[in-house]
Amino acid sequence: MKVAIVHRVQGDEEDNLAELRELCRTAGYEVMYQLKQKRPPHPKYNIGPGKVEELKEAIRELGIEKVIFENDLKPVQEYNLAKALKIPIITRTQLILEIFSLHASSIEAKLQIKLAELKYELSRAKEKVRLAKKGEQPGFHGLGAYEADVYYDEIHRRMFSIAKKLEHVKKHMDLIRVNRKEFGLPLISLAGYTNAGKSTLFNALTNEEVKVSPQLFTTLTPTTRIIRMNGKPAFISDTVGFIKNLPTPLIEAFYATLKEIALSDLILLLADASEPLDKLRERIETSLQILYNIGAHNVPTILVLNKVDLVGMDDAARKAEELDLEMPHVLISAKMGWGLQSLQEMVSGMFKNFIRIESKLPYDGETMNMLNDIYQFSKVNEVSFNDGFVKLDIEAPICLAEKIRRYAMDGEFKIIG
């Protein structure tokens, strides 16, 4: 479908047309025309009447079938634009909802998107009913015989139904988190701006093949696996990408998913080192603001500057220095495997719930069962089998170390370092 994109800005505000164009490409739209205007919002159209005439001309000449605004539009502005231009008008929020719908694969993601759509609709419902009674316009959804209060109540009813279903999903996710805690392993969350390479890094660390795409928002449902960071096991979770001005209904609807990040023990905040410094800085600041908004600002965070294969280590290091951010950072190429060992060493050094112990266990069935957990959930420096006992030198989660302490032979249990 051929579309036009529009962004009205004020003062020194930079337009966001490049990102809006990328969002359109992800949604399968072909951008034929773009329009930027610097002015305060016009009450009737958001943009000025002269620019509406300019859009009319472009629609006629280029065969444009839809107009997409970076700005949020009031229902009356959407109505007036649709009436004037005779084609559908949508906003960036609606475009992102379309993209999320395209990429949703899990029941949880589909429910979250539907809830976000209803929340967006709820804020506009009464005004849309009033306007719809004036006569349906192209792209302006007619509401039939619905009265405002009936339509409003129907949205509330559907939101309540979806929220109940999501509550069941949330309880299931909470149970999974409780089970993870029993292992005593730290949880690492991959976060950052969309298309920064989170899924590529996830694949590199787990040897798996989750979907990787240059399109935005290909990951909507967290994927969690056990990995080893410099020999120490941990859970790692690939999460939904961030974006500038992420619509509030989406943040609210995806809160259960974003909560995974807030509950983690460590965040790897990915950014694309190949981007210009100003853009890189803006995207890191956007990501940090979202982390703050979801309550993850106190979680230890490592800035991972990815895609250094596109710019070289020297240029990436210079950008890291000029960013001057108060957090540890590491330079990597997830695609090429560069810097992953340095990343693992840095991450391993930040694990607080591992302790190094030396101990002796009796050579019996209970110890043999315990060894399965030791090999799976700790970093093994040495395990030696001797006459009547097993000698251990391992780095283990505190809960496993305590289990070993209670079963140690003759109290032979020592914490190293």
pLDDT tens-digit map of 62-115: 999 999 999 999 988 998 999 899 999 999 989 988 888 877 767 777 887 888
pLDDT at residue number 148 = 57
Q: Which of 129 and 195 is assigned the larger pLDDT?
A: 195
Same fold for the domain at 2-102 and the one at 184-350? yes
pLDDT above 90 coverage of the chain, percent = 58
Q: Give yes or no for a contact between 2 and 62, defined as CB atoms under 8 angstroms apart.
A: yes
* CATH code 3.30.70.240 for 354-416: yes
Report, in angstroms and rounded to the nearest whole number, the Rg of the chain calculated over CA atoms.
26
Instruction: Express each pLDDT in 319-354 by its tens digit.
Output: 999 998 889 999 999 999 999 999 999 999 999 889
Q: Is 105 exposed, middle or buried (0-12, 13-18, 19+ CB in 10 A)?
A: exposed
Q: Cα(69)–Cα(79) distance, rounded to whole angstroms?
A: 13
Q: pTM (2 decimals)?
A: 0.79
pLDDT at residue number 273 = 96
pLDDT at 279 over 60: yes
pLDDT at 141 over 60: no
Out of 3.40.50.300, 3.20.20.120, 3.40.50.720, 1.10.10.10, which CATH number does the structure's domain 184-350 have? Answer: 3.40.50.300
What is the CATH number assigned to the segment(s) 2-102? Answer: 3.40.50.11060
pLDDT at residue number 254 = 65
Of 312, 21, 348, nearest in space to 185 by CA = 348
Q: What is the DSSP letter of 169?
A: H
pLDDT at 7 over 90: yes
Instruction: Express each pLDDT in 237-254 by its tens digit.
Output: 888 788 887 777 667 666
Q: In this structure, is the dihedral angle defined by the CA atoms of residues 262, 216, 287 and 204, taken in order, positive or negative? A: positive
Contacts of 29 (CB under 8 A, 6+ apart): 1, 2, 3, 66, 68
Instruction: Count CB-CB contacts under 10 A for residue 101.
Output: 16
Domain boundaries, the chain: 2-102, 104-165, 184-350, 354-416
pLDDT at 140 over 50: no
